[in-house]
């Protein structure tokens, strides 16, 4: 059976998030329940703020906007 390329790309891009966000660390916000648009806005805001201090600012600088959209759609849809 052929792989669904777009789904597996989104799933792969999103897999790196769970190590922090689903690790049960109280210092890291729970991102489940964010809508796709709210997630995309949050990720874009980190990326745009290139002098931002958090790990998220550094991480998001490495993603293209289509990648952020794919991550937001994938994880946001899971939270519904």
State yes or no: residue 75 binds ligand HEC (CB under 6 A): yes
Cβ atoms of 37 and 58 closer than 8 Å: no
State yes or no: residue 50 binds ligand HEC (CB under 6 A): no
Between residues 2 and 21, which has the closer beta carbon with respect to ligand HEC? 21
State yes or no: residue 10 binds ligand HEC (CB under 6 A): no
CA quadruple 44, 49, 55, 59: dihedral, nearest 10: 50
Q: List the structure tokens of 71.
A: 């991550």
State yes or no: residue 62 binds ligand HEC (CB under 6 A): no
Residue from 36, 39, 61 nearest 48 by CA: 61
Which stretches of the chain bind ligand HEC, using CB under 6 A?
Answer: 16-17, 19-21, 28-29, 31, 34, 39, 42-43, 54-56, 59, 71, 75
């Amino acid at each position: 059976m052929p792989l669904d390329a777009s789904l597996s790309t989104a799933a792969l891009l999103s897999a790196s998030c769970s190590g922090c966000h689903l690790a049960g660390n109280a210092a890291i916000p729970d991102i489940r329940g964010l809508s796709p648009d709210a997630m995309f806005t949050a990720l874009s805001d980190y990326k745009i703020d290139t002098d931002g201090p958090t790990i998220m600012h550094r991480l998001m600088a490495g993603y293209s906007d289509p990648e952020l959209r794919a991550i937001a759609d994938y994880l946001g849809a899971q939270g519904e």
